[in-house]
Amino acid sequence: MLAPFLIHFIVFTAFPIVMSFLGTVMDFGYYGEGWIGFKAYVSVFTAPRFWMSVWVTLKFVIILLPTSIFLMILTGVIVGWAAQKLQAVIRAVYFIPAIAPALMISFSWRWLVSPGGPLGWFIGDTLMLGSNPYAFWTIAVMVLSTSVGGSLVYFAAALAAIDSQLYEAAELDGCNRRQLAWHITIPLAAPIILFMSVQRLSGLLQTWLFPYAMTGGGPNYATTTIMLNIYQTGLASSRVPQGAVMSLFLLVLTIGLILIYRWISGRKILF
């Protein structure tokens, strides 16, 4: 019964991880050197550009993770208060950016923030994608706009599973809407919130397509994330060992942050 899952895990997860580790100490390229030891590690961890990409990635996580979860909860509670017909409309509007192709969204945003676009015309001649820190904040808002819709669907399902009798009993005891949301909705939806938080954290750590399509990582590497750095180094520049080192670093960073977040949530600090 477990064979299909085990085969899938070994072929598509365990084997790539092992090969990534071997790729950090061996150069398998056509003109590769074979065994290279820890040269790739030294090359990566002594490069200022790598640590800049780490900082950019962490900024995305620090800013967008709590913001997206807060907006998900706020929007979900407001939608729950709306009329039944209006709920479907709001969910559809919020979910459209989550299913739209990322490149189409990128091209739309490039037009919006260009000097001749609506936002560019409103703000002035500021190059929002060609100057720092405007480029980072522009991409942060764009990533945020595409992340809330998908999370809202899961949160709406969690709200639908809450017994309506709990709300009725609380209202008879004199609870207002804010108290209902804080003492009933959020605690009972906490497992889904935790699940979406972990999923959102993993997704933010792997952000690369929007910065790549919008700025190519510029200006002056201000929007270069770890994942984009892996692509530019390991694939575009054919420096596979260095890209493999960054991949392992991203894996360790992701596991570490998820474990820390789950430990915090388990201590009831968040909910």
CATH number, domain containing residue 164 = 1.10.3720.10
Instruction: Give a yes or no: residue 16 inside a domain.
Output: yes
pTM value is: 0.84
**DSSP letter (8 states) at residue 101:** -
Task: Inform me whether the pLDDT recorded for 71 exceeds 90.
Answer: no
Residue 168 confidence (pLDDT): 86
**pLDDT: which is higher, 98 or 65:** 65
Distance, CA of 113 to CA of 115 (rounded, Å): 6
Residue 87 confidence (pLDDT): 67
Q: How confident is the model over 116-141, as pLDDT tens digits?
A: 777 767 766 556 777 778 889 989 98
Determine which of 50-64, 75-89, 147-161, 204-218 has the lowest per-residue pLDDT on average.
75-89
pLDDT band at 271 (very low <50, low <70, confident <90, very high): very low
Extended beta strands in the chain, E state: 26-27, 34-35
Nearest CA-CA partner of 149 in 105, 185, 99: 99
Examine the domain organization and report whether 248 and 150 are in the same domain: yes
202-222 as b/e, with b when 16 or more CB fall inside 10 Å? ebbbbbbbbbbbbbebbbebb
Instruction: Give a yes or no: residue 246 inside a domain.
Output: yes
Instruction: Give a yes or no: residue 68 inside a domain.
Output: yes
pLDDT band at 245 (very low <50, low <70, confident <90, very high): very high
